[in-house]
Structure 1
């Protein structure tokens, strides 16, 4: 029997959250198992006043304290990415979530960022703030 876990992180921009979603999809994670809240791609980024996001986050099956922290993050304007994956995929999913800056969308694929100046290092778009699983 497969054991599944939620891996969840908070980002301060939709661009970073969407990069994580794309990287997870390219990693073979079923896109239906990856949730971005709020999700501008789904066209519901203005529904926070309706409490929709609270319900979406509650439906992720996270512990109550974590769900409240993520709900508060969304109210502050942050973006939550949560992926439900087989426990064997957790280390790779955590790696992707910790470093969205190492991926960029290019022709529908996620590729490692290559600095244009060899003396420069790629820098993060924004750091994720893991709150729990």
Structure 2
């Protein structure tokens, strides 16, 4: 159960970091900070969709289109962003094709790095806490 909670926290933090970095760096990609509930909703929706869509798209690509296996993360990131933007209450907006393409790349890169680096931080703290 602890492992599941740590994994969920990592997904949420990585989604938050990816969306915030894209918001800061990219014109046309924005989070509606005046509605913090909407931003929180966008992060949760994106994280859940990303964690559900990635394995499903991987399975479909492996089965029907093996040439697309390398782009699974990008495709699942794009679809998760698309669905999050379509939900009216979510506090995220993306305007223009450049913002969609570059935003997908930024969010994918940041979430990939965060999900790779954050387990070491969480597990290191957990191991040190267990020793104390």
The TM-score, its normalising length taken from structure 2, stands at 0.32
Structure with the greater alpha carbon radius of gyration: 2
The TM-score, its normalising length taken from structure 1, stands at 0.32
